[in-house]
A and B are shown apart, each in its own frame.
Chain A
């Protein structure tokens, strides 16, 4: 990912590379409530990622484990004892399923978002820069995909790709591709809009004047400038990807419990439990979905606010020691106001 936020004149040009990474630079710029939101988001997201990475160590049992040395697990057991968060109607350990579910979720996010970024960015660049009939056709297709309810597209894709089989990799790719198809138009649109805007910028024209080829202009001049907003869409889409995955699982198009743990599927199975007062089978997977989505959204929204100098909060100037005058900064301020 390219280094974001070019027009930030205040950032010292000599800052070490790690301080210019997307999230780190945002953290350094943030202050007050905005920093609080970003930190909360980072903690939730961090917990999610760590859980996914260390699932084999953290989970007391396997995701499809129904018995141990002491015999079969009891079904629908309340939280406590050997099963901290209780067991489901099928005899699965809820805590283990929730932890293993994080792994499935992160794999789906990575597959879906990486595939849609690659395809969306390439199509957006070509379509926006070349224009003409190709652009028109691609825009119409993107609009058509937009017009479909995203879950419906995902369901159709899940049927087409997995075709009834249910392995971990197959399931993840089925869900991932389904989500990819829904997301490509988003990346396509963002990159295309940026490309169309950048195409008229003098630096692109000056490249044209010196005789640069289209491919060179697209890859060297437009690509790096058009992808600055991607970290933002990435975080926002990651949370949406989880919701679609959970939705698919809830509707029964996800991954079978024997091949991987999946929060949406567990929610579906917990549906019948609610009326009989069994709350733990539904609440913990649900909570996992909510916290992960909230965490990713907080990070995304904070980055969005911090990227915009008008939305970004700043430390108060009251009582501070005089610093040297920076005329560029004044100009920026006046323009931004």
Chain B
């Protein structure tokens, strides 16, 4: 990085001009249903060394705005207004000039690091590709050797250990967090003044997210890089952003410094949005509990040294997804299972529903030993088990109406008459606060939150004794999530079923469940009353997990960050 020291100061002597200036941007998409105005009127600017967060729910136009900055809109889009980066208007410049701007003046960090990197090239090659696409200092092409050494520099800058050696690694040899570091290194390779990061930590686990946020903060502090951060996660905003732009349906609703926005939001929409964000420690289901509740009632699920292995390929040992886990779940209780990706939490949920086979220990579900599962003998019990899937869009058959989908468990188990089924579907829809007329609609005609309510209605249709909810709200926007969680809580109290609530989000689990188990690499490292686990974690991993979760409050988050610096190793 010695060749191209801070291009900004070279080209912009007064240093006062904004790095990015968006003026009355409008973006319209041509669709089958006529033109759709994704971005209606957005004006904003980003100064040098500033982190500007654009927040909003899905469909607010934040990603479209971000892609416009790099000229990455699809052919069906047309845009007007001005997006000025270092004096060049991205919307009106030629394709050749746009290529020069990309990488040198502005670079992008994508959401999913494993798809942003090409698996068949080494990471060094991929970083060097960007460097060699631009001319070097004397107007000549950068030599392969120099590009490589600059790639090594970039990798060192983002904290990849042993970069001289690892520059020759392929993407699959890095972990998820390291891959995202490589993506950031590629964005940094030409030292652009501006980085557009579109949900840079959404695909990552919280502990990894904390590291990436620290890295981005470092970039701003050390190199004066400006960052446009697109995210829906208010915790991330509180942790990193200097200034926040709130978008709603293609318009800017509010723009304010981060602290001001969180402390005193001016607009109703912002206030509602902030109120809906779950905050660890607030609104806990186990507030004031000292003993585990519901222990005198029937035990619905009992796991004893439960082990689940996935067979390995020829020559490799089997993979232990769940390793000697023991817990009980009683009637009326909500058991929150927390863990990062790959911790085995979903595997446990699926095993209880009979979708995965157990391989060791004992798992008794409603008195049935799952170790020797036979579909024929287990089928009668299935009417007592409800399952809510993560993605409400995919868990409904797109060819059937919502009513047919909700009635399906009844049709299979109790064989009601069509009139009875219709009546019951109407009742169920009303109990999840949907109009009964929605029974005639198809799944794609409902919004995400409505679909998840319908999914809950289907799970409840036979009054189950056990409900398994696998990340039921992680595909939803925060404001919708808040409503679904509330509904979920009410219904659980009304029907009194036992519930296994699986989530990666500690704050969400805390709202619903009184008893919480923390899974790490297949082992249940800690379990206890929710507020105690969250407030006074015993195991190292739980401590790290809780410390890395950003809270939606900039001041509190800054304090937490300082306190936990040692624990997080950042």
Contact = CB atoms under 8 A, between A and B. Distances in A.
Contact of A323 (B34, B38, B63): B34
29 contacts: A6-B398, A10-B32, A10-B33, A11-B32, A203-B397, A203-B398, A205-B395, A207-B408, A210-B383, A210-B408, A210-B412, A211-B382, A212-B408, A221-B397, A314-B31, A317-B29, A317-B30, A317-B35, A317-B78, A318-B78, A320-B35, A325-B38, A325-B250, A330-B61, A331-B59, A333-B31, A333-B38, A337-B72, A337-B73
Given A13-B441, A203-B396, A314 B59 contact: no
A208 interface: yes
B444 interface: yes
A224 interface: yes
A203 B458 CA distance: 12
Interface stretch (B303-311, B386-394, B498-506): B386-394
A219 to B, nearest CB: 12
Given A205-B355, A334-B67, 6 more contacts: A6-B444, A202-B394, A203-B395, A213-B412, A325-B36, A325-B40
A224 B78 CA distance: 37
A9 B444 contact: yes
Nearest to B447: A328
Contacts of B385: 209
Nearest to A14: B445
A203 B394 contact: yes
Nearest to B36: A329
B565 interface: no
A225 to B, nearest CB: 6
B29 A212 contact: no
A275 interface: no
Nearest to B388: A206
A189 to B, nearest CB: 22
B445 A317 contact: no
B64 A334 contact: yes
A326 interface: yes
B290 interface: no
B249 interface: yes
A207 B413 CA distance: 12
A315 to B, nearest CB: 6
B74 interface: yes
A336 interface: yes
Contacts of B408: 207, 210, 212
Contacts of A327: 58-59, 249
B488 interface: no
Contacts of B137: none
Nearest to A323: B34
Nearest 7 pairs of A and B residues by beta carbon = A327-B59, A10-B32, A211-B382, A337-B74, A202-B395, A10-B33, A314-B30
Nearest to B58: A331
Contact of A316 (B78, B355, B382, B445): B78
B442 A13 contact: yes
A7 interface: yes
Given A206-B395, A314-B76, A330-B38, A211 B409 contact: yes
B258 interface: no
A142 B37 CA distance: 49
A224 B34 CA distance: 29
A119 to B, nearest CB: 23
A205 B35 contact: no
Interface in A280-324: 312, 314-318, 320, 322-323
Nearest to B398: A6
A220 B407 CA distance: 13
Contacts of B32: 8, 10-11, 29, 312, 314
Given A206-B458, A322-B37, A327-B58, A225 B31 contact: no
Nearest to B378: A211
Contacts of B33: 10, 12, 323, 326, 329
B74 A336 contact: yes
A2 interface: yes
A213 B29 CA distance: 44
A201 B30 contact: no
A136 interface: no
A317 B389 contact: no
B353 interface: yes
A19 interface: no
B248 to A, nearest CB: 10
Nearest to A222: B397
A333 B412 contact: no
Contacts of A216: 412
A211 B378 CA distance: 9
A6, A212, A337: most-surrounded residue (chain B CB, <10 A): A337
Nearest to B443: A203
Interface in B372-420: 379, 382-383, 385, 387, 389-391, 394-400, 408-409, 412-413
Interface in B256-301: none
Contacts of B78: 316-318
B359 interface: no
Interface string B8-31: 000000000000000000001111
A207 B31 CA distance: 33
Interface in B509-562: none
A217 B452 CA distance: 22
Contact of A2 (B35, B58, B399): B399
B444 A326 contact: no
A225 B59 contact: no
A327 B61 CA distance: 9
B36 A323 contact: yes
Interface in B68-106: 72-74, 76-78
Nearest to B78: A317
A237 to B, nearest CB: 24
